[in-house]
Amino acid sequence: MKFFIDTANLDQIREAQDLGVLDGVTTNPSLMAKEGITGRNNILKHYVDICNIVDGDVSAEVIATDFKGMIKEGEELAELHPQIVVKVPMIKEGVKAIKYFTDHGIRTNCTLVFSAGQALLAAKAGATYVSPFIGRLDDISTDGLELIADIRLIYDNYGFETQILAASIRHTMHVINCAKIGADVMTGPLSSIEGLLKHPLTDSGLKQFLEDYKKGN
Ligand code: E4P
């Protein structure tokens, strides 16, 4: 399972990279705005800064919602760095754009996916990644994990190579359950990755080991 961090915060990206388990980064316009990154040139530069920190794929989202606009923006984003994956929303023009990018060797991440049907379309168009937003489904009392399981079943039935990128991860149990279902990738905040470290028996066990060592040395 690949671990992506879902942020545009360079310090957090560095911290996750330093842990040695990071495989990539996802961003979106809201995450960029949260870091105060505005203006096309600053946004493009920020993507390059992220690529220079991580060894792995970095999703960069198009803003246009029409086919031509998405192609223009996506090609510009893909040119920035070989690690860039163009993030395209699951709308009609987006499906056409994903097919175009696939045919032209540009990798894509189909975002804002909330149903198995949308995931099937993304795979048919050749998306590299599909991003079902499980936390946002949970927020409206719909089981996000059930969607991951449905997509896994459908992709396995037909051997689709599109990778399931479980997105909108909120906590460690999302990560663990996505791993049990077989999501290819998860993207979440640093806390969802670091949370995997924690267990009180590890802390008390280590404390005891160190105390016992001190007694004999
Ligand atoms: C995915 O690529 C999105 O950036 C993200 O996971 C959305 O998460 P949120 O629902 O926590 O905003």
Nearest CA residue ID for atom 7, ligand 1: 168
Indicate the SS3 state at residue 164.
strand
Nearest CA residue ID for atom 12, ligand 1: 168
Nearest CA residue ID for atom 1, ligand 1: 167
State whether the beta carbon of 26 lies less than 6 angstroms from ligand 1: yes
Please provide the size of the chain in residues: 217
Nearest CA residue ID for atom 10, ligand 1: 168
Say how far apart CA 32 and CA 42 lie, in whole Å.
10
Distance 153 CA to ligand 1 centre (A): 23
Distance 190 CA to ligand 1 centre (A): 13
Which ligand 1 atom is the nearest neighbour of the CA of 187? 6
Distance 57 CA to ligand 1 centre (A): 16
* Spatial CA neighbour of 108 closest among 154, 148, 165, 158: 165
Report residue 115 as tokens. 């149903």
Q: How large is the average pLDDT for residues 83-97?
A: 98
| 193 touches 3 (CB < 8 A) | yes
* Spatial CA neighbour of 109 closest among 44, 66, 58: 58
Please choose from 2, 4, 6, 171 the residue to mutate so as to test ligand 1's pocket, defined by most ligand atoms within 8 A of CB. 6
- Tens of pLDDT, residue by residue over 168-189, are 999 999 999 999 999 999 999 9
Query: Mean pLDDT of all residues in the chain?
Result: 98
Say how far apart CA 90 and CA 110 lie, in whole Å.
6
The residues that are catalytic are 87
Which ligand 1 atom is the nearest neighbour of the CA of 109? 2
Query: What pTM did the predictor assign?
Result: 0.96
The pLDDT of residue 189 is: 97
Distance 203 CA to ligand 1 centre (A): 31
DSSP codes of every residue in 71-98: HHHHHHHHHH-TTEEEEEESSHHHHHHH
Task: Please give the distance of CA 75 from its chain centroid, rounded to a whole number.
Answer: 20
Q: Percentage of residues in the chain with pLDDT exceeding 90? A: 99
Q: Is 136 left (phi over 0), alpha (psi -120 to 50) or beta?
A: alpha
Distance 202 CA to ligand 1 centre (A): 31
- Tens of pLDDT, residue by residue over 100-151, are 999 999 999 999 999 999 999 999 999 999 999 999 999 999 999 999 999 9
